[in-house]
Structure 1
């Protein structure tokens, strides 16, 4: 085997009786000096892989720091009676420095890890959020090489929960899966909350778990957990790659499951399998996916059309499942003069300045939407879940249009269920209604109710108790200044209710932890939105409680130069929980928070940051935030009661 000489950094050369780890030509070497001579050994004990460079010289022997085995520090030879030894490398101390001769690196041998990554890329999964560690190093190396080729983008996070939230947000925004990567044991279990968010909101995600070596599996080894069992409930599929598996096919099947099932596909990658040589072909998506845009049955459309033709005050409630059907939905609304109410998850589906836009319905909604719901005689629900938070009145005559049969009648019986693609269903319904439906034009009602609500918002924005800013004032400015092509991400808390009520949307999409309602989602989700389209503005809106769970991820945004603009509402408490305690006739307890100066924290992390306390400060500060080059945190000191 040919070798080459490499110079060692002066600071890595040990003194007499010392051993030190040196990185030479990208490789880890244990350098030791004993009896005036310098030795270089492979920095890996042949028994358990312990780092010999972290050991010590004792009585002329180099002792492994993990389990006390001894080696000659110059030659690697073990004591008499033992034969296993780390590789030793020639050294020379020359006038121009210290040199080590290392074997030339062999050509890369394609591995199972390469098959995994190549298959993911073939399926369009080219964004990964995760943490590299001892049990996923093989697949991580394959990702590194793919990133070097320009085929993949990797974001190294500070906590695996943030990786799962970011991947979930990516799936919600694009309809395509990103991947999240973790090690065995706690790294993988840290993914679960974010993956449950993806599960219940129908976002495709690929979760990759490193695993202890197959030989140790099931024997109670360090970080040995049954990950397939742990992930079985959260995932639409979970599988382990074994040495003899068809690795490309398993990865292809996982991505297909994530897309078909709109959920999490989980893969377990044992440590030794990842680096196993492989000449297998990577999997490809050709011919593996069906067109989901199914036409509804003519009978269901005809039944729905009869109800619409006879309704005087129909309204349309648009859920997240209607996002790809904005054109047909708006066309039907305009023909009927029917107001469009949205669920919170669908906020921004049509701009709030549209003459039929009534805003959000439900707990985070407006009195405009609730009034129109009360006055309606027919409710056309498109792509919504009917959950208890949506505010859809169960006593109304209901038409449900959805491509998921489980969503139709899940909570509330409907008069007509139209199963099929939302856009195709709306187009067919529009055609089937025919000329001269009985609906009255409700544009004037919408305008009158919006005028009342805007006057009330102006009064709330002017409130001042001397204890911080009212939420209405902040969202008034954000409504006017936020770019029309921005993506909003919202956390859970009082600020989210205020966002739903007060923000005047220009049609920007909103990402939230919808049905899981997980605090901490907001900032990691902004990282996912940035990864989906780095050229698009991303604005995170969080509270102090939610951001506190993942505030270290601000350093991730700085590291990758993510220009996330972050509006942080700080009321010094878990305000939503305090309100719930009081509403239940309980005293507030354990909801107060000790917060840092968030703007100063942002600056310490390398981001921009400033604090606003008065109405006069909001607009210029928000303008500076939106114009800034990189990540920026606007710390809003908020009155906890003015939400």
Structure 2
């Protein structure tokens, strides 16, 4: 089985040894020069890392766990892979074959537990089944861009194959899909009739950045990027209006509301409230089942974004000038200037935008940024400008604790690239034990922690609903000292005067590093504040004043300014 994984191109596995997989672990030990076993400290880290590796590379991410508690720990990472459609294989041990169904020690009904998360979910009952089941599991993961679970009682791993008879072959043939010509012609008509077309591009355009830009230039349409598509085109590109939704920019919000043709490319953007009403839409997706799934489209183009965009660009006469585009380019330039002013402030206490600016100054071309979930997502999306870097995050599941596993996976995928993880103290502390994994395997990741001693996003959500804060304070933690205890390097930054020198020193290190930046709490106000949010936030301000006597004027002033 170990050799079969190698034949499929698997060169590393994330997991933790244990009694129900020890036979396979021993086979991996014998082939450690060909397939590396990365011993993580928690199976959730292994599953999240496998998912991140698959998202970054398109290759199969593989994780391994014991039965019972180890299998349960996998679930969060596997659901992340399912939600973001990443091909992942989980090989899960089970109690001995003769004990299955007897409520043995650490036995749970694994097939039932994995049923919802997996596109392939089977338990081997004989060793003769293993090669064919493994082949099929990997094919299903690639074909359906999802999670395959292969459950194996440990005694089967120990048995040797005596026959070469196989039902399956160990190859995956990726299909090519392209829209029908009549649909392309119909798209041309819609595009030529539009006066204010806008492109909303998702992660399905990651391999098609040049084609996306060329198409936008041809039809003179601005581009809005989903969060998962951040980095597909440079954030400072003249056609880019940034991200959309709660984390997005004001120009993207307003341009979307004024469009007369929405072009969805490689995205399943789920936030209907941020999309226009009663507007014609074209959607490009390589999965026909996704067409019209989240928005009522006029036309669906079933095809890969790279080839489909290229074909449309050839088909459509270039547009010379579009006032709609130029107007929002000007608005976006104003927005960028405002962000730069906020990022370059030199005052204390520190705020997250200042940290993003310092990361930019130390970020190398080709770097991989692994973001966590929470307020940090807003700061990354809005203030960290990527030019030619990769970006990875837990998208649809949006699970806290994904930043560190993503950084570990990124460094394995691109050992010669700079890898930067950015997390809040809440997200990082959910899985920080595996920083020692980075130390053990000499993975020189740089983890930047925005430390406000709070679950900041939840605090803001409570305020936005008009509620007083409850159970959002975490308490103080010195993550720099934790890094040193793990054998890495730690830098604690508590003032603007320390920010530049210490950040630079940390990025010069060739070891795993935690950069613990103490920041002041700051509400991640949306680019465009709607009336209800403004009213509820005002209710919170009033309630906070009468409850504690404190009036959070800075956030309120920003809210009123953006509302205007």
**TM-score computed with the length of structure 2 as normaliser:** 0.89
Work out whether 1:629 is the aligned partner of 2:514. Answer: no
Mapped pair 1:247 → 2:130: yes
1:368-387 superposed matches below 5 A: 368-387=251-270
* CA deviations over 1:382-441 (Å, ceiling 9, x no partner): 0010301793334332111001123221121011111111111111212222x2548616
For 2:505 and 2:428, locate their aligned partners in 1 and report how far apart those are by CA, in whole Å. 21
Contact 2:13–2:62 (CA under 8 A) maintained in structure 1: yes
Partner of 1:513: 394
Structure 1 residues 184, 537: CA separation in 2 closer, same or farther (over 3 Å shift)? same
Residue 282 of structure 1: how far off its partner (Å): 9.9
**Residue of structure 1 in register with 2:158 after alignment:** 275
Tell me which residue corresponds to 1:351. 234
1:593 equivalent in structure 2 = 474
Question: Shift of residue 185 of structure 1?
Answer: 0.3
Give unpaired runs (5+ residues) of structure 2: 525-564
2:19 counterpart of 1:131: no
Structure 2: distance between partners of 1:319 and 1:285: 35
Cα distance in 1, alignment partners of residues 312 and 479 from structure 2: 51
State the partner residue of 2:299: 416
1:286-306 Cα offsets, whole Å, 9 max, x none, are 684333331111122111111
Equivalent position of 1:305 in the other structure: 188
2:116 is the alignment partner of 1:233 = yes
Q: 3-state SS of the aligned residue for 2:301?
A: strand
- Tell me which of 122, 125, 131 is aligned to 2:7: 122
Q: Deviations over 1:144-175 (max 9, x none)?
A: 1111xx21122100000000000000010011
Structure 1 counterpart of 2:356, from 475, 480, 492: 475
| Alignment-derived partner of residue 491 in structure 1 | 372
User: Is 1:454 aligned to residue 341 of structure 2?
Assistant: no
- The alpha-carbon distance between structure 1 residues 209 and 388, as it changes in their structure 2 partners (threshold 3 A), is same
What per-residue deviation string (whole Å, max 9, x for no partner) do you get for residues 99-146 of structure 1? xxxxxxxxxxxxxxxxx1111111112220000011100111111111
1:333 alignment counterpart: 216
Contact 1:381 1:398 in 2 (8 A): yes
Whether 1:558 and 2:439 are equivalent positions in the alignment is yes
Q: Output one character per residue of 1:167-217: Cα deviation in whole Å (capped at 9) or x when no partner.
A: 000010011112111111010110001000000100001101111101111
* Structure 2 residue aligned with 1:111: none
SS in 2 for 1:400: strand
* Greater share of residues in strand: 1
Change in 2 beyond 3 A, CA 1:328/1:390: farther
Shift in alpha-carbon separation, 1:617–1:285, aligned structure 2, 3 A = farther
How far apart are the structure 1 equivalents of 2:165 and 2:263?
45
State the distance in 2 between where 1:155 and 1:244 align.
Answer: 25
Shift of 1:284: 11
The match for 2:78 is: 195
Deviations 1:512-560, CA, capped at 9 Å, x for gaps: 1100011111111111111112112111010001111111101100000
Does the residue aligned with 2:432 lie in a helix, a strand or coil? coil
Instruction: Identify if the C-alpha distance between structure 1 residues 338 and 286 changes in structure 2 by more than 3 Å, giving closer, same or farther.
Output: farther
Contact 2:347 2:496 (8 Å CA) reproduced: no
Could you report, residue by residue, the CA deviation over 1:553-575 in whole angstroms, capped at 9, with x for unpaired residues?
01100000011111100111111
Check whether the contact 1:511–1:525 (CA below 8 A) recurs between aligned residues.
yes
Is 1:208 the counterpart of 2:208 in the alignment? no
| DSSP 3-state at the match of 2:274 | coil
Q: Which whole-Å CA distance do the structure 2 matches of 1:237 and 1:554 have between them?
A: 31
Structure 2 Cα separation of the partners of residues 396 and 527 of structure 1 = 43
- 1:606 matched residue in structure 2: 487
The runs of 5 or more residues in structure 1 that have no matched partner are 1-115
CA distance, structure 2, for counterparts of residue 363 and residue 199 of structure 1: 23
Match of 1:618 among 494, 499, 515: 499
Structure 1 position 315 matched with structure 2 position 198:
yes
**Residue 353 (structure 1) shift:** 2.4
Residue matched to 1:63: none
- Report the structure number with the largest CA radius of gyration: 1
What is aligned with 2:536? none
Q: Name the residue aligned to 2:312.
A: 429
Does the 8 Å CA contact 2:127/2:156 hold for their aligned counterparts?
no
1:440 aligns with 2:322: yes
Aligned residue pairs, count:
524
Partner SS, residue 449 of structure 1? helix
Alpha carbon RMSD of aligned pairs, Å?
2.0
Cα distance 1:546–1:246, how it changes in 2: closer, same or farther (>3 A)? same
SS of the equivalent of 2:417 reads coil
Conserved in 1, the CA contact under 8 Å of 2:272 and 2:294?
no
2:405 maps to 1:524:
yes
Q: Is the 8 A contact 2:226 2:269 kept in 1?
A: no
Change in 2 beyond 3 A, CA 1:388/1:443: closer
Distance 1:282 1:318 in 2: 46
Q: Distance in 1 between matches of 2:53 and 2:8?
A: 15
In structure 1, what is the equivalent of residue 281 of structure 2?
398
Partner of 2:521: 640
CA-to-aligned-CA distance 1:57-87 (integer Å, 9 cap, x gap): xxxxxxxxxxxxxxxxxxxxxxxxxxxxxxx
Q: Distance in 2 between matches of 1:390 and 1:473?
A: 31
Of the three residues 19, 22, 29, the one matched with 1:144 is 29
Residue of 218, 243, 260 corresponding to 1:360: 243
Partner SS, residue 514 of structure 1: coil
| Alpha-carbon displacement from aligned partner over 1:33-75 (angstroms, at most 9, x marks no partner) | xxxxxxxxxxxxxxxxxxxxxxxxxxxxxxxxxxxxxxxxxxx
Q: CA 1:540–1:280 in 2, change beyond 3 Å: closer, same or farther?
A: farther
Higher helix share: 2
Cα distance in 2, alignment partners of residues 343 and 511 from structure 1: 12
**Equivalent in 496, 499, 502 of residue 383 of structure 2:** 502
In 2, Cα distance between equivalents of 1:581 and 1:258 = 39
Q: What is the Cα deviation at residue 450 of structure 1?
A: 2.8
CA distance in 1 between counterparts of 2:157 and 2:518 reads: 49
Match runs of 1:153-232 below 5 Å:
153-232=36-115
Higher mean C-alpha displacement, 437-446 vs 218-227 = 437-446
The answer on whether the counterparts of 2:21 and 2:66 sit within 8 Å (CA) in structure 1 is yes
Judge conservation of contact 1:520–1:548 (CA < 8 Å) in 2: yes
